[in-house]
Structure 1
Amino acid sequence: MPSDPARSTPLPDERSPASYALLLAPLILLTEVTALELTLIYPVLPLLSDAFDTASIGWTLTVVSLTGVVAQPLLGRVADVIGKKRMILYAAGAFATGSLICALAPSYPVFLTGRAVQGTCLVMAPAAYGLIRDVLPARVVPVALGAVTTGIGLSAIVGPLTGGALGQTFGYRAVFWFALGYVAVLTPWFARTLPESPVRRPREERRGIDVRGGLLLGAGAGGLLLLVGQGAAWGWTSVATLTALGSSLLLLVGFVRRELRAPAPLIDLRLLAGPALRWTLLAAFSGAFAIGGTAFAMPMLVQTPTSLGYGFGMSVLGAAVFLVPQGLLGAACGPLGGLLARRRGPRYTLMAALAGLTATTLTLALLHTAVWQLLLAALFMGAGFGCFFVGVSNLVVEAVPADRTAVGAGLMGVANNLGQATGVTVLGAVLARYVVDDSDEDHVLYAETGYALALGIASAVAFAGLLVATAMRHGREPATGGVLRIVGAEAERGAKGRTP
């Protein structure tokens, strides 16, 4: 196997598993802000709506996703060039600044500006995947990527409980002061512990980052995300919806044309059009559709009054506590999914994830009248969620060169955001057709038929993703931490160098 100076790691391969865990701890905890900036906010949305006297409180979440979709591919490419650790530090600073703006915001527009600044931290996840690939020995990479998923699973438990407790006791601003303190404590620890990525571009190439291409891609993908999220409110045939669709498609076409002509493209479209990355992103979209749709429908299902014959009448806090088994199993399945990827192949991890998500949605669609049935679905969801991100991230690492890891993972983030938004929109549209007229309740209720149909659709989409993953040729071999992709790229460059 030829040597690769870019892949050589400054960390010795003789470290014990415990030392690697201590090394990864600050990275995992710091990158958790990508999940916490949403899970912390869910419980205080009513408080925010009252404080700013607005019915459009959903923009508190939407603006983060829109910013992330624009930022992930562009800043992911920047991270590949300037160093992943440096980009994570920049993103942590932006998150702290956004948290401060939100904590002090005198009006809703200023508050949304702070949320948009916070949203740039979503680049942390793809940069973290790239940093893990660059600085850890190849044999450790698949499991380390799974460890990142462990933190995401735990944030689904810690975030709502912490946000709810802080908001109820001190008000919504305490949530953002907590977020500011969280990143302020962890950033110096991360900065001292991990080395910088050794995969760096030559200085003259750093000036050639295709910013215009990144903005075209981000704006086009962001437009699609906005269309999916707001189409139902605007009307699917309204002028606003059709304008958003047309503008997004024009931006994406412009991105493709620019990348085909650019001497230093943001994304090598041969990678995006190739089967390895293409089918990985499609499977990621399908899994994210099921995750987003289930996260939207399940809390409403368990909070439905028992008088309707299928609900459980849980409170908001009860619904959050109900998700604890799901989060714990998801946290445990992250490293286990990494081990499966290392021993059998990341495709098998993704297949296990999509099988779990299919089982989750199918169980909820058919069985939702007893607590044990919901617990069974939660366990399926924990296993599927825990394996999903580690499977997809390992497939991306195996599909792209080392100096494109962060931008490749950024595209994975775009697929995940679009998938989750589409899942929420589709399931929400289906449920809206089955509203139950109950004047005694202060919130909208949906009929059992609506839940069965909506979750059945989510199950079908997850199963379609499972079929895609099963048919994929990519990822059938044990994960190498990206070494084989590097060697293949070197061989290709060598062959081109010998061509007269």
Structure 2
Amino acid sequence: MTTTSSRPATPADGGTAPAASPNRMVAILAIGGIVVAMTQTLVIPIVASLPTIFDAPASDTSWIITVTLLVGAICTPVSGRLGDLYGKKEMILISLLPLALGSAVCAVATTVPVMVAGRGLQGLAAGFIPLGISMLHDLLPKERTAGAISLMSSSLGIGGALGLPFAAAVAQLSSWRLLFWLITACAVGLGVVIWRAIPAPAPAARTGLRTPFDYVGTLGLAAGLVALLLPISKGAEWGWTSPLVLGLFGGAVVVLLTWGWWELRTPDALVDLRTTARPVVLLTNLASILVGFAMYAQSLILPQLMQAPAETGFGLGQSMLQMGLWMAPAGIAMTLMSPVGARITRARGPKTTFVIGGLIMSLGYGLSAVAMNTLAGLAATAFVASAGVGFAYGAMPAIILGAVPATEKATANGFNTLMRSIGTSTSAAVIGVVLARMSISFGDHTLPTEAGFRVALLLGCGVAVAAAALAATIPVRATEAPSAAS
């Protein structure tokens, strides 16, 4: 289908074709987003085996997961800003380099420090998805942006959902190291395809090219996020009232307030806090935290329920591979709902899509109340809740893109992705506390009780309802098009 637009695709550097198919661009970048997002859940199926694999205590091997979340949270807004300044395609290609290198390092790692270093390098690729969203907004015809943005944004959840069964299957049938070699190959292949097949945005979309980079703001944000997210991730292990955790939370408040003071006074701020404080952007970001919480909660609860021993009376006794296969439809649900959400966005605006997404997520959690003790019921819970995530994730960037200047689109999307990361990190901590406090001894293991699982699911449901309610207050006209701001 031939379309016309005020934002035609332009030739990329490096000898690409003079024009690119919109479908091909969307498919390539969405696949890239899924690959990057898969790194979040890649090691979950082997978490229990990590201490044995590396002959190290669990307190050390837990950094293999934590470091990726920390590095990803820090670099996402930074990558977005660099994309606005120096080119989104360039930053997308650069982000794939540490993904390939880090995956290769993990594949050959024999000690925890080497594995942590590789996982940290993987986290540097987290900016790929918000950069891809902004790049598609610049390149595609306006009538195609809603669907493309929805799919690209949902790739964050799709990759996380598909990564679980994929990693479980490979780890059980082959070697866990193969997982990282496959990601290495995908990263290299994606880099070549993107370089050759996708054009760079027109110069008009890169008006901030000569603006200096805010190094002080970058260091301040990094320090503040580490001080905030580290105790959230490790609080259960270190003790929520320990001096270290309380000191880090206090330090986070001081550093982030100081960072905000600097960002409001520097002309070349990493994040324009005045734009971020606009009601549309602020409320969308706050609701994004809640969606991130609710999304991650079900991915923590349902696998544990499926794998809990049947002898408990509520567990379903599934193997790692069986659990992964039962959870696989969740990723498919997000993929299927992306075009549906895009149609609602075009007809009624992204705010409506966002509200619907939150309500569908809560409905999915509600299913668990009556079907928690069956595999089909839990699979249905995951499918419906993930469908709601697909709606919500597709709507968030559409609202943001319509509310920020052209020179801040990638930065604003990166900051929104950071808000989702804060939500997922908080979810891991809160759900972990709930399940740990409501647990029983079962043989040599400690397992959450049935009541603990129900409370955690109820909490996820409540947060999803709160996300929908908060999204309903975003001051965006119901029929406002997401591509209105060019």
TM-score, shorter chain, exceeding 0.5: yes
Distance 1:262 1:236 in 2: 36
- The residue number in structure 1 matching 2:42 is 40
Matching of residue 384 in structure 1 with residue 388 in structure 2: yes
Report how far residue 434 of structure 1 moved.
Answer: 1.5
Report how far residue 226 of structure 1 moved.
Answer: 1.2
Letter in 2 for 1:9: P
Report how far residue 186 of structure 1 moved.
Answer: 1.9
Letter in 2 for 1:404: E
Alignment deviations for residues 353-394 of structure 1 (CA, whole Å, 9 cap, x no partner): 111111222332454123443243123113112112101121
- The residue number in structure 2 matching 1:310 is 314
Among 227, 231, 234, which residue is 2:235 paired with? Answer: 231
Among 26, 29, 37, which residue is 2:28 paired with? Answer: 26
Name the % identity.
30
Alignment deviations for residues 434-489 of structure 1 (CA, whole Å, 9 cap, x no partner): 212222xx5432211111222212211211111111122225224232x33x5xxx
**Is the CA contact 2:360–2:385 (under 8 Å) kept in the aligned structure 1?**
yes
Alignment deviations for residues 150-185 of structure 1 (CA, whole Å, 9 cap, x no partner): 644553464234333433454232221111111111
Distance 2:39 2:301 in 1: 21
Letter in 2 for 1:469: A
**Is the CA contact 1:152–1:331 (under 8 Å) kept in the aligned structure 2?**
no
Distance 1:46 1:308 in 2: 20
Letter in 1 for 2:82: V
**Stretch moving more, 98-107 or 261-270:** 98-107
Moved over 6 A (4+): none
**Is the CA contact 1:47–1:172 (under 8 Å) kept in the aligned structure 2?**
no
Report how far residue 10 of structure 1 moved.
Answer: 2.8
Distance 1:321 1:258 in 2: 49
Query: Quick one: structure 1 residues 370 and 419, their matched pair in 2 at CA, closer, same or farther if it must change by over 3 Å?
Result: same
Alignment of 1:341-356 (within 5 A): 341-356=345-360
Alignment deviations for residues 33-77 of structure 1 (CA, whole Å, 9 cap, x no partner): 321112332223344332211213222111011001110111210
- The residue number in structure 2 matching 1:155 is 159
Matching of residue 396 in structure 1 with residue 400 in structure 2: yes
Matching of residue 299 in structure 1 with residue 303 in structure 2: yes
Matching of residue 68 in structure 1 with residue 72 in structure 2: yes
- The residue number in structure 1 matching 2:103 is 99
Aligned length: 470
Letter in 1 for 2:210: E
Among 181, 201, 204, which residue is 2:210 paired with? Answer: 204
- The residue number in structure 1 matching 2:16 is none
Report how far residue 101 of structure 1 moved.
Answer: 1.9
Distance 1:37 1:282 in 2: 25
Distance 2:468 2:165 in 1: 33
Report how far residue 433 of structure 1 moved.
Answer: 1.8
Among 174, 177, 181, which residue is 2:178 paired with? Answer: 174
Letter in 1 for 2:50: L
**Is the CA contact 2:95–2:124 (under 8 Å) kept in the aligned structure 1?**
yes
Alignment of 1:270-285 (within 5 A): 270-285=274-289
**Stretch moving more, 116-125 or 188-197:** 188-197
Report how far residue 115 of structure 1 moved.
Answer: 1.0
Among 50, 58, 62, which residue is 1:58 paired with? Answer: 62
**Stretch moving more, 82-91 or 24-33:** 24-33
Return 5+ residue gaps in structure 2 as ranges: 12-19
TM-score by length of 2: 0.91
Letter in 1 for 2:449: A
Alignment of 1:317-332 (within 5 A): 317-332=321-336
- The residue number in structure 2 matching 1:470 is 472
Letter in 2 for 1:201: T
Among 416, 423, 439, which residue is 1:435 paired with? Answer: 439
- Partner SS for 1:445: strand
- The residue number in structure 1 matching 2:15 is none
- Partner SS for 2:402: helix
Distance 1:150 1:233 in 2: 32
- Partner SS for 1:471: coil
**Is the CA contact 1:367–1:373 (under 8 Å) kept in the aligned structure 2?**
yes
**Is the CA contact 1:350–1:391 (under 8 Å) kept in the aligned structure 2?**
yes
Distance 1:452 1:468 in 2: 24
- The residue number in structure 1 matching 2:123 is 119
Matching of residue 81 in structure 1 with residue 80 in structure 2: no
Matching of residue 361 in structure 1 with residue 396 in structure 2: no
Distance 2:78 2:154 in 1: 26
**Is the CA contact 1:11–1:136 (under 8 Å) kept in the aligned structure 2?**
no
Report how far residue 30 of structure 1 moved.
Answer: 1.8
Distance 1:420 1:241 in 2: 19
**Is the CA contact 1:100–1:180 (under 8 Å) kept in the aligned structure 2?**
yes
- RMSD across aligned positions (CA): 2.2
Report how far residue 320 of structure 1 moved.
Answer: 0.9
Matching of residue 8 in structure 1 with residue 7 in structure 2: yes
